[in-house]
Chains A and B, each alone.
Chain A
Amino acid sequence: MPRAKGRSALLALAGYALAALLGARAHLTAAPLTRPIASYQISCRLDTEKKIVEGTELLTWTNTTAKPAPTLQFHLYLNAFRNTLSTFWRESGGEHRGNRLPESWGSIELTRMTLADGSDLLPALSYVSPDDGNPYDRTVAEVQLPRAVAHGETVSISIDFRSRLPRVSARTGWKGDFFLVGQWFPKIAVLQEKGWNCHQFHASSEFFADFGNYDVSIDVPARYRGKVGATGVRVEERNLPGDRVLDRFRQESVHDFAWTADPDYIVVDDVFREPGVADTQIRLLLQPEHSSQQGRYLQATKTALSGYGRVLGPYPYDTLTVVDPPWGAGGAGGMEYPTFITGGTHRMAPASVQSPEGVTIHEFGHQYFYGLLASNEFEEPWLDEGFNEYMEDRVVGAAYGSSHPVLTAFGFRFPIGIAIHRPLDTNRRYFGVATEDVLASPAWKFRTRTAYGAHVYSKTALVMATLERLLGTPTMNRALRLYADRWRFRHPTTADWIAAVHDATGRDYRWFFDRTFFSSGSVDYAVEEAKSEKVSLPKGLFESDGRLVEQPPRELAAAKGWQSVVTVARRGEVAMPVDIVLKFEGGHVYRSAWDGEARWKRFRVDRGPRLLEAIVDPNETILLDVDRTNNGRLVQPDPRAASRWTARAVFWMQNLIDSLTIAW
């Protein structure tokens, strides 16, 4: 449709001209980071009383596949909150991230949908449920076009919509005057050669979309002046009649747009500067209650920009907005949108707990895996969440060290003096469900949501950290950088990551991924036997001068030392190469590498020094090992730890009995 193409070009030109007039930043006139496929111009108005956003959207979409597209498919995510019959609600069981979902309903209605020539598309709209056939789910809509969109053709579609926001639940909604507006507009799905890749909104999945340019005008009451944050750069703020204000944001080369408004925000602007890297403007929208944590938020943001940037390449956008949700809006926290993240903290948040640091760094990390690489989070969620979990462990661990867990009692949070090491301890939830699922499964097809989290986040992080230990950190960094550079804006798949590892190392690591990403087997190596006995005088008949005598030859009789036996076993289904270390008296150490394929391997040392200890995987390379308590065995028992912990157990039991009886 040349006409549509021409209109799109005109709109783009007009936009750039306006930006120049407004003195917008230089980046707006620079070349886009990627070719836009789905671009949006949206004007919307927020009704703070009714919690409704009414908007008009001009979608400009290009068919980049080789086939014509007779239909269009749209995500209508907010319909996940329409009623308890939606797939999201059914799968979540009314809970999200351990919190009860409020019975506050959300929806998105399309009131007009026309092509550039005025053709009305609404009569041809229907709802489909490609994942589960749920007839009540309204999160995917399909529109029959009067004429198929040809390969390379661009169409413009005007849509009027009304979005009713729920009370903050899963990543979107309102609480009082606070609004986090995400997944709020009709969003076209991704067309691939095999057809539309469009999944329903599930309880355990996030998103997938094509890149484009966004130009969004948001009309809010005047009390929100200066308190609106969004994806991209604010290019305009002006008064509107009726005591309202309009904020306009633009961002190129992103695949989603979210915004927030809260009259209570403390707005803090800062700049991230690092030699050789373009500056990034940081805007922190902070709750007054958390004003004392302003420095921690900003420091964490800069740590993330630096830490991720050094491995995956510089953050390419000019801005980053960090949102601190208010009390009671926890469902809005810990979420990522392009150039826009939400953190979350508590009033009592000691530094040792690493909150808001951990969540801020984690959500920023999504700017790479979700934002720039933009893998399909429905079908391969580990490529975002898992890879990011791994990188978060690296960045947070390097900057902040170990964290400490919190004991929550009677609504109060108390840090406990136990060190939680990254990445092993932070991902232990995987071990409890290690064999329940294959990691490489679509997000909604895990047995339970616990298994989803344990595999997608934790197992992936442990797989990646294990790979790093096998390859070495410099090689791992090369692989990550190659992957990030090669696939930026191109929606990579797991195969692309495996190829990047191959290219970075010059070796084929498919065996490793077959046993981790594509297997539900567990890894468990154990030292099953470690003993050392003094060499005893041999008994029996021995040759001496051609005769058999009962006296052993002198060299055998004089033999001294210890005879040691060590048996290492593979108890798990999955084999990995492991090192084995035998420690002997006098500081002698014997090291051996085992491919780990057989069920067991035995080491026998005759007439050697006395064996003290045998350890399999002494450097904790294979982090997927579900039971590390059996990885090392002492020949001579050391009762100290058990005795001390028995004493502790008895002592605290006495105190518990004493304390309990106080009450009555």
Chain B
Amino acid sequence: MVRGHVSAAGCFARGVKVSLSRPYLAASLWLIQLLLASVLVLPVSNALHTLLDHSSSGSRMVADPDFGWWETVRRVHPDLLGTFPDAVVNATSIEGVKSSALAELQGVGATAISLCLLGIVLHAFALGGIFGALREPQGSLVVFGREGMRRFPAFLAFTLAAMAAAVAAYRWIYLVTGEAWHDRLNDLDTEGQAIALTAVRLLVLLVALAAIKLVADSVRAIWVARPDLPAVSRFFAGLAAAFSRPARLFGVLLLYLLSGAALYILWIVFDPSAGGEARFALVPLILAQQVFVFLRSLLKVGYYAGVSEALTRVPSPEYSYVPAPAVDTPSIDRASDEVPVERPAGAI
């Protein structure tokens, strides 16, 4: 399906278009994230109501955060957050995660660990659903769920592998170099040079993380697109696909990150949660927050669709299968397919 030059921007734009045409995918992501976050709603809400509802400090907290209140609550109610903030700091430092730190976690902090594990599992499921549903001309939540479950074991493995690679990259590219260069950094003539060196380390880390992500997403896309291949071949075809179009894939990722950052900047500038009720009452505030998260989910689905687009718009030499003609069979009819009859990716 060669149609001349295919740019990253074009892929991302088409991806966003696909995402907009199938809002149930973004809605599913939004719902998963909301449900995950909801695990903390009750403990957080109950604790806050207990601490604030009858307290004169509460009125100061309606509009803006109060540093003193926050410091006091952390100190006086260690059962609420426990040592979670310290554990996060340790986990992101050269010290790494210590089992003793996990044993000390309490309250919301301890719940957050379980939440992270649950998030990983649901993330793998959601990606299977998204990539699978993107291939369907007429998707639905049913397709999303079915595809998610079908791809789940493999996608969980990819997610865990990508996570491990990302953590390793953070440790070995950023932390270890920081530790090794600590004294040299101080020996530099100016802080500007030190900042530049740190920026280089950070940039290398970001490029490595981007590469890990793009490889993982390529493997996922090809895994879904090439059910005709054996598992190992699918995996390597995915790897090869990532390396065959690195610039285009990286461009799609960059556009996704930039558009997400733009959303955050807009949020921070117009921050509906600041200023108290004078700006936004509670219900409009919650609505605004959820619309924001939904928009981010739309972009996320758009990114995955863009990756599929980038990988399949122009078949690469290594990716030399012949696309089969599109079959206009409703996806629901194929729900019971046990044998791989999926159409190749070129038909998306």
A346 CB within 8 Å of chain B: yes
B289 CB within 8 Å of chain A: yes
B209 CB within 8 Å of chain A: yes
- The docked-state distance in angstroms from the alpha carbon of A597 to that of B72 is 24
Determine whether the beta carbon of B213 is less than 8 Å from that of A662.
Answer: yes
Chain A CB within 10 Å — which of B55, B213, B286, B290 has the most?
Answer: B55
Residue in chain B with minimal CB distance to A635: B54
| Chain B residues with CB below 8 A from A176, complex form | 187, 189
Determine whether the beta carbon of A644 is less than 8 Å from that of B285.
Answer: yes
Determine whether the beta carbon of A633 is less than 8 Å from that of B56.
Answer: yes
The contact of B273 among A431, A627, A648, A660, by CB within 8 Å, is: A648
Least Cβ distance of B176 to chain A in Å? 14
**CB-CB under 8 A for A289 and B190, given A654-B37, A657-B33:** yes
Determine whether the beta carbon of B300 is less than 8 Å from that of A658.
Answer: yes
Determine whether the beta carbon of B123 is less than 8 Å from that of A634.
Answer: no
Among the stretches B41-49, B223-231, B242-250, the one at the interface with A is B41-49
- Name B294-311 residues within 8 Å CB distance of A: 296-297, 300
**CB-CB under 8 A for A645 and B56, given A289-B190, A658-B33:** no
Among the stretches B2-10, B60-68, B131-139, the one at the interface with A is B60-68
A640 CB within 8 Å of chain B: yes
User: Which bracket fits the contact residues of A?
Assistant: 35 or more
Determine whether the beta carbon of A411 is less than 8 Å from that of B189.
Answer: no
- The docked-state distance in angstroms from the alpha carbon of A12 to that of B237 is 90
| Chain B residues with CB below 8 A from A638, complex form | 52-53, 58-59
A148 CB within 8 Å of chain B: no
| Chain A residues with CB below 8 A from B40, complex form | 649-650, 653
- The docked-state distance in angstroms from the alpha carbon of A663 to that of B217 is 11
| Chain B residues with CB below 8 A from A631, complex form | 56-57
The contact of A328 among B36, B187, B282, by CB within 8 Å, is: B187
| Chain A residues with CB below 8 A from B293, complex form | 651, 654-655, 658
Determine whether the beta carbon of A661 is less than 8 Å from that of B166.
Answer: no
**CB-CB under 8 A for A642 and B53, given A347-B191, A647-B286, A649-B44:** yes
| Chain A residues with CB below 8 A from B277, complex form | 640
| Chain B residues with CB below 8 A from A389, complex form | none
- The docked-state distance in angstroms from the alpha carbon of A613 to that of B296 is 43
Determine whether the beta carbon of B41 is less than 8 Å from that of A663.
Answer: no
**CB-CB under 8 A for A646 and B45, given A410-B202, A637-B54, A638-B53:** yes
- Name A94-109 residues within 8 Å CB distance of B: 100, 102
Among the stretches B11-19, B145-153, B192-200, B315-323, the one at the interface with A is B192-200
- The docked-state distance in angstroms from the alpha carbon of A220 to that of B49 is 66
| Chain B residues with CB below 8 A from A633, complex form | 54-56
Q: How many residues of B contact A (CB 8 A)?
A: 78
B75 CB within 8 Å of chain A: yes
A-B contact count (CB 8 A): 200
Determine whether the beta carbon of B195 is less than 8 Å from that of A347.
Answer: yes
Least Cβ distance of B265 to chain A in Å? 14
Determine whether the beta carbon of B191 is less than 8 Å from that of A657.
Answer: no
The contact of A647 among B71, B73, B273, by CB within 8 Å, is: B273
Determine whether the beta carbon of B49 is less than 8 Å from that of A644.
Answer: no
| Chain B residues with CB below 8 A from A645, complex form | 44, 48, 52, 61
Determine whether the beta carbon of B192 is less than 8 Å from that of A289.
Answer: yes
Determine whether the beta carbon of A642 is less than 8 Å from that of B123.
Answer: no
| Chain B residues with CB below 8 A from A654, complex form | 33-34, 36-37, 289, 293
B69 CB within 8 Å of chain A: yes
Least Cβ distance of A397 to chain B in Å? 15
Residue in chain B with minimal CB distance to A104: B183
Determine whether the beta carbon of A410 is less than 8 Å from that of B186.
Answer: no
| Chain B residues with CB below 8 A from A644, complex form | 61-62, 273, 276, 282, 285
Least Cβ distance of A620 to chain B in Å? 10
Contact with A along B162-176 (1 / 0, CB 8 A): 110110000000100
| Chain A residues with CB below 8 A from B191, complex form | 289, 327, 346-347
**CB-CB under 8 A for A642 and B166, given A634-B58, A658-B33:** no
Determine whether the beta carbon of B72 is less than 8 Å from that of A627.
Answer: yes
- The docked-state distance in angstroms from the alpha carbon of A419 to that of B213 is 38
| Chain B residues with CB below 8 A from A646, complex form | 41, 44-45, 48
Chain A CB within 10 Å — which of B68, B185, B285 has the most?
Answer: B68
A504 CB within 8 Å of chain B: no
Determine whether the beta carbon of A327 is less than 8 Å from that of B53.
Answer: no
Least Cβ distance of B59 to chain A in Å? 7
B332 CB within 8 Å of chain A: no
**CB-CB under 8 A for A628 and B183, given A648-B273, A655-B296, A664-B216:** no
A641 CB within 8 Å of chain B: yes
Determine whether the beta carbon of A428 is less than 8 Å from that of B282.
Answer: no
A212 CB within 8 Å of chain B: no
A511 CB within 8 Å of chain B: no
A630 CB within 8 Å of chain B: yes
Least Cβ distance of B262 to chain A in Å? 15
**CB-CB under 8 A for A664 and B159, given A613-B56, A627-B76, A639-B53:** yes
Determine whether the beta carbon of A641 is less than 8 Å from that of B48.
Answer: yes
- The docked-state distance in angstroms from the alpha carbon of A348 to that of B165 is 33
Least Cβ distance of B6 to chain A in Å? 24
A412 CB within 8 Å of chain B: yes
A632 CB within 8 Å of chain B: yes
**CB-CB under 8 A for A641 and B59, given A328-B187, A627-B76, A664-B162:** yes
* Interface residues of A, Cβ cutoff 8 Å to B: 100, 102, 175-176, 287, 289, 326-328, 346-348, 405, 410-412, 418-421, 424-425, 428, 431-432, 530, 613, 615, 626-634, 637-651, 653-655, 657-658, 660-664
New A-B contacts (6) at CB < 8 Å, excluding given A289-B191, A640-B277: A348-B195, A626-B72, A632-B56, A638-B53, A641-B53, A649-B40
13 contacts between A and B (CB under 8 A): A425-B67, A431-B71, A634-B53, A641-B48, A642-B48, A644-B276, A645-B61, A651-B289, A651-B292, A654-B293, A662-B300, A663-B212, A664-B166
**Shortest 7 CB-CB contacts between residues of A and residues of B:** A632-B56, A664-B162, A411-B198, A637-B53, A328-B186, A642-B48, A653-B37
